[in-house]
A and B are shown apart, each in its own frame.
Chain A
Amino acid sequence: MGSITDLLHKKYLIPMKQVIDKPSRKKPAEKLKEALISNFDQSQQAQGNLLTVKQNALKQFELLGFPSLKNEEYKYTPIARALEKSFTEEEILTSNTTPITLTAAQLKDILPQKIEANVLVFVNGRYTESLSKLISPKEEIVIEEFSKACETHAPLFEKHFAQYASIETDGFTAMNTAFAQQGVFIHVPKGKAVEKPVMLYFISDTTHGKTFTNLRNLFVIGENSQVKISESFYTFGKEISYTNAVTEIMADQQAIFSYYKIESESDLALHTGTTQIYQKRNSISNCTTVTLSGDIIRNNLNISLDDEYCEANMFGLSLLEGNHHVDNHTIADHRKPRSLSNELYKNVLDGSSKGVFNGKIYVRPDAQKTNAFQSNMNILLTDEASIKTKPQLEIWADDVKCSHGATTGQIDNEQLFYLRTRGLSEEDARALLLYAFALEVLENIKIKELREQLDKIVAARLHKNFE
């Protein structure tokens, strides 16, 4: 890696500290890595420039491998070890070859019914047209399978693909860039305010065995256009699933978009996900990440504010129990003056669940008059639940306004007492307070049906109905 100044001028975002494992150190899941690499040629459909990009990513993946716990960025989240334990080389290479047998009836509870939305369903990484519907006019929004878009929209695709999510330090992103064949390409042309939301469902069906899926999405949101997009992750069956999803979003000037990531996978699910957002002048991003379950989940939300007057809103809620382990890493990278980032992440941790939050705010030397706010609030419901929280502000400019706060605690006993003096049972009062705590994040979801669905899940978790 070069000097700080070199890094500052890179187009995409790079963590400021050395995070690559030392070459000498023994890395986890090396055999899986080697199996994947040796199978690269067979797995490819790409040609030309795209193939070159992928070959570079492959080299980088070979160099980086899967991160060990010695890697500062992954020190609380043993995802690579879990992969090593869960999958054989054979299982990885043959995964996702079984036919898709899921039916609409089975998905009834997952897909919101009667919704006016563009719904796309992917099962084990494969687009399933029979379960999907597209309703927005083509001139308003282009929605295309990732594997087709690289041909049908080649110039635009190549201009943006792998330009934002860095393969240089994160092995998962490198692997994804090399291997991912499936996902969604969305383009909103200049000036279009897309009325109907786009809802993407990524389902791991493990009824025929373990799944190992790389997913790749690219959203190009044109100048002065507006759109709402959700990604939801679910699991069927009782086997282990692993999903490695990378989404790149480019918001051109004056664009406004909402992005929701909902994770409701099984208790055996492993997940690594990176959402990389690149914003131009006056653009606004509204991101909400809700995690409801999973064995080990790691989310990276990285936003690069690369022009003046950008606004980035980042909300997160993890509602965990049992042995769930969820790690949210976020970066707000202020590269130019006068932008705003605003972040609120909450964790409610029950059972022996583990939460990790790492929120970085970078304010680069040019980024004077930056406003950056970050807050992380955690409620531990048991002595066994734990949270590791680390706000990290790195500020090189001198005229900025930044704040961060982190709280960890139990339910407020005084509030609980107050509600009980008003006649609520302790259980009801507790549920009500937790619901209120969650609501501050959930209310940022502006797709009505999705919001209602989540409300129901949260209420069910708390064993209460709040309607």
Chain B
Amino acid sequence: MSKDNQILEEFTNSEYKYGFESKIESDSAPKGLNEDIVRFISNKKEEPEWLLEWRLKAYRHWLTMKEPEWANIKFPSIDYQDVIYYAAPKQKIKPNSLDEIDPELRNTFEKLGISLQEQKRLTGVAVDAVLDSVSVATTFKEKLGDLGIIFCSFSEAVHKHPELIKKYMGSVVPANDNYFAALNSAVFSDGSFCYIPKGVRCPMELSTYFRINAANTGQFERTLIVAEEGSYVSYLEGCTAPMRDENQLHAAVVELYAAKDAEIKYSTVQNWYPGNKQGKGGIYNFVTKRGICAGDHSKISWTQVETGSAITWKYPSCILKGNYSVGEFYSVAVTNNFQQADTGTKMIHIGKNTRSRIVSKGVSAGKSQNSYRGLVKVMKRAENARNFSQCDSLLMGDKCGAHTFPYIESDNKTAQIEHEATTSKIGEDQIFYCNQRGIDDENAIALIVNGYCKEVLSQLPMEFAVEAQKLLAITLEGSVG
């Protein structure tokens, strides 16, 4: 084996560091999916009748749909009857303060490095943690409440703000949008809801951590963010899961709604369990994320660092409906061992003078496959639409693959669309070149990978950027030096 392959292999062979299971009693639905399960979930959550009807309608539609096959991913077919669709950590009463939360659960978060206390004290980030399917605690609720900001679990919002949920849920991602979105709409268990009233600039980063804990559980959370006219919010989402041999299913839906002059920044650091080195286990991550820039001069910006999951199928999208609205997508997707990622974005230009920017950085190591799939669509009325796309792939070793599928559809001649794509390899000669300037192997790889991803990492809020950098190092680093 040549030297650089050896180095790369060592770097890429480190273990998943978040793979522990919390021993918390959980309260689960029986395996399988039918209308009764949908009713069970709705009942558990004490939901109003209209929501149950909404779920059932989605479920019935789902039955008529087929799993999508166009993505560049391969996996054994999923037995949807072998999944537990609802698992809540068993707790008799809802906690009123952080101190009342099960200590084991709090331990879990501390192991994750996101101690709620710490977060609260040090960074002033408001955190909503979703463990398996239930939202556990939301910090900083009061302070946000003073500004009229609503930040709570989705279930709570259903009870306390039904008018908002009714108005916006499914307005961006309809219940029948695609196979996984329909599944989610039928069985979603919890998630986060966030509402920023007119003219309010949310003073802190809002954050949710998702963690799949119980075995054989699917996690189907929904996130809904509504930014009213002239408001601003930055939202962070982090994900981890314990190591298990079986594949676990995750099918979330995220909807963003930006009114006139509003801006939403949505950042994700996804670190679900990717499966072991032989490709066993890991999360199947089929997520529908979409935002609509409904008003003029609104802006939605997606930033994602995807290092986990056995399979990632995810295309955070922007519908640029308002004139002068802006959509952005910044992505780093790292795949290692047998991971597969098919990710990208869709930018749909409807309004005049709309702009979008896509920066996608794929890093493939081991025997993984990494695909960028993106659509830029300019509708007939979208005068002066502009798009810039840049898709780069970095290959480590020679057994992995990188693929780019840019789709461009333009129905307006004033559109300016630019696309750039590059593929490069970290090779022996790059490492030797660094060595010759006094830089050792470990620093050389860190330098190259972080440099390569810099443009995306710099979009993340400070604390998150540091975490993401560490995550990249963990994903690709090993015991050299």
Asked whether any CB of A lies within 8 Å of a CB of B in the complex, the reply is yes
Residues of A in contact (CB 8 Å), total: 13
Of B160-168, B421-429, B447-455, B469-477, the stretch lying at the interface with chain A is: B421-429
Residue in A399, A406, A407, A410 whose beta carbon sits within 8 Å of that of B425 in the complex: A399
Q: Which residues of A contact B425 (CB under 8 A)?
A: 399
Return chain A residues, CB-CB under 8 Å to B418: 405-407
Cα distance A401–B416 when bound, in Å?
A: 24
Complex CA gap A234/B159 in Å reads: 81
Q: Is A400 an interface residue (CB 8 A)?
A: yes
The complex places the Cα of A410 from the Cα of B420 at a distance, in Å, of 20
Give, as a whole number of angstroms, the nearest-CB distance from B410 to chain A: 10
Residues of chain A with a CB closer than 8 A to B421's CB: 402-403
Q: How many pairs of residues, A versus B, come closer than 8 Å at their CB atoms?
A: 24
Contact with B along A369-411 (1 / 0, CB 8 A): 0000000000000000000000000000001111111111110
Q: Is the CB of B416 within 8 A of A407?
A: yes
Name the contact of A405 in the complex, choosing from B384, B420, B423 (C-beta under 8 A). B420
Partner among B384, B414, B416, B423 whose Cβ is within 8 Å of the Cβ of A400 = B423
A409 to B388, CA, bound (A): 13
- Inter-subunit contact B420/A401 (CB<8 Å): no
Q: Using an 8 Å CB-CB cutoff, how does the interface string of B403-425 with A read, 1 for contact, 0 for none?
A: 00000000001101111111111
| Interface positions of A from 389 to 436, Cβ below 8 Å from B | 399-410, 413
User: Which B residue's beta carbon lies closest to that of A406?
Assistant: B418
A164 to B434, CA, bound (A): 41
B172 to chain A, nearest CB (A): 29
Closest B residue to A391 using CB positions: B419
Asked if B420 and A407 make an inter-chain contact with CB atoms under 8 angstroms apart, the answer reads: no
Query: Is A410 a contact partner of B423 (Cβ separation < 8 A)?
Result: no
Q: State how many angstroms separate the Cβ of B393 from the closest Cβ of chain A.
A: 10
The smallest beta-carbon distance between B429 and chain A, in angstroms, is 10
Q: Would you call A405 and B416 a contact (CB within 8 A)?
A: no
A144 to chain B, nearest CB (A): 44
Contacting residues, chain A, for B413 (C-beta < 8 A): 408
Expressed in whole angstroms, the minimum distance between the Cβ of A403 and any Cβ of chain B is 5
Interface contact B420-A403, CB-CB below 8 Å: yes
**CB distance B416 to A408 under 8 Å?**
yes
Q: Which residues from chain B contact A407 at a C-beta distance below 8 Å?
A: 416-418
From B416, B417, B422, give the contact of A403 (CB < 8 A).
B422
CA distance A405 to B422 in the complex (A): 11
**Interchain nearest-CB distance for A154 vs B (Å):** 45
Per a CB cutoff under 8 Å, which of A401, A408, A409 touches B423? A401
Residues in B neighbouring A405, C-beta threshold 8 A: 418-420
**Which residue of A has the minimal Cβ distance to B401?**
A398
Whole-angstrom distance from the CB of A371 to the nearest CB of chain B? 9
How far apart are the CA atoms of A405 and B408 in the complex, in Å?
13
CA distance A328 to B50 in the complex (A): 63
In the complex, A406 Cα to B389 Cα: how many Å?
12
Nearest-neighbour CB distance to chain B for A348, whole angstroms, equals: 15
A413 contacts which chain B residues (CB < 8 A)?
384
Contact (Cβ within 8 A) B422 A410:
no
Bound form: Cα–Cα A400–B402 in Å = 12
Q: Which residues of B contact A409 (CB under 8 A)?
A: 414, 416
Which A residue's beta carbon lies closest to that of B393? A401
Quick check: B419 and A410 within 8 Å, CB to CB? no
Which residues of B are found within 8 Å of A406, using beta-carbon distances?
418
CA distance A410 to B412 in the complex (A): 13
Q: Which residues of chain B are within 8 angstroms of A401 by Cβ–Cβ distance?
A: 422-424
B-chain residues with CB within 8 Å of residue A402 when the two chains form the complex: 421-422
A337 vs B420: C-alpha distance when bound (angstroms): 22
Give chain B residues whose Cβ lies under 8 Å from the Cβ of A408.
413, 416
A218 CB, nearest partner CB in chain B, Å: 37
CA distance A406 to B421 in the complex (A): 12
A372 to nearest B CB, angstroms?
11
Docked Cα-Cα span, A399 to B428, in Å, equals 14
Question: In the assembly, what is the distance between CA of A409 and CA of B355, in Å?
Answer: 14
Complex: A399 Cα to B394 Cα, angstroms: 11
A369 → chain B, closest Cβ, in Å? 9
CA distance A407 to B422 in the complex (A): 18
Taking CB atoms, residues of chain A closer than 8 Å to B414 are 409-410
Chain A residues 247 to 293 lying within 8 A of chain B, measured CB to CB, are: none
Which residue of the partner chain B has the closest CB to A412? B416
| Alpha-carbon distance A239/B388, docked complex (angstroms) | 46
CB distance from B383 to the nearest CB of A (A): 11
Residue of A nearest to B421 (CB): A403
Chain A nearest CB, measured from B408 CB (Å): 10
Q: Note all chain B residues with C-beta closer than 8 A to A403.
A: 420-422
CA distance A413 to B352 in the complex (A): 14
What are the residues of chain A within 8 A of B423 when measuring CB–CB?
400-401
Residue of B nearest to A400 (CB): B423
Closest to A383 in B: B413
CA distance A408 to B384 in the complex (A): 11
Report chain B residues within 8 Å CB of A400.
Answer: 423
In the complex, what's the smallest C-beta–C-beta distance from A379 to chain B, in angstroms? 11
A465 CA to B160 CA, complexed, in Å: 69
Assembled-state Cα–Cα distance A407/B419 (Å) = 9
Complex contacts, B420 vs chain A, CB 8 Å: 403, 405
Residue of B nearest to A377 (CB): B418
A117 → chain B, closest Cβ, in Å? 39
Complex Cα distance A400/B413, Å? 32
Q: How far is the CA of A104 from the CA of B419 in the complex (A)?
A: 50
Bound-complex Cα distance A408 to B412 (A): 12
* Complex contacts, B424 vs chain A, CB 8 Å: 401
CB-based nearest A residue for B425? A399
CA separation between A98 and B423, bound complex, in Å?
58
Across-interface contacts of B416 in A (CB, < 8 A): 407-409
Least distance between A234 CB and chain B CB atoms (Å): 35
- B299-340 contact mask (Cβ, 8 Å, vs A): 1 or 0: 000000000000000000000000000000000000000000
CA distance A117 to B175 in the complex (A): 74
How many Å lie between the Cα of A153 and that of B230 in the bound state? 78
Q: How far is the CA of A404 from the CA of B419 in the complex (A)?
A: 7
Q: Could you tell me the distance between the alpha carbons of A170 and B413 in the complex, rounded to whole angstroms?
A: 33
Nearest to B391 among chain A residues (CB) is: A403
4 smallest beta-carbon distances between A and B, as pairs? A409-B416, A403-B420, A405-B418, A407-B418
Given contacts A401-B423, A409-B414, 9 further A-B contacts (CB under 8 A): A399-B425, A402-B421, A403-B420, A404-B419, A405-B418, A407-B416, A407-B418, A408-B416, A410-B414
**A interface, CB within 8 angstroms of B:** 399-410, 413
Give me 6 A-to-B residue pairs in the complex whose CB atoms sit less than 8 angstroms apart, sorted by A's number.
A401-B423, A402-B422, A403-B420, A405-B420, A407-B416, A413-B384
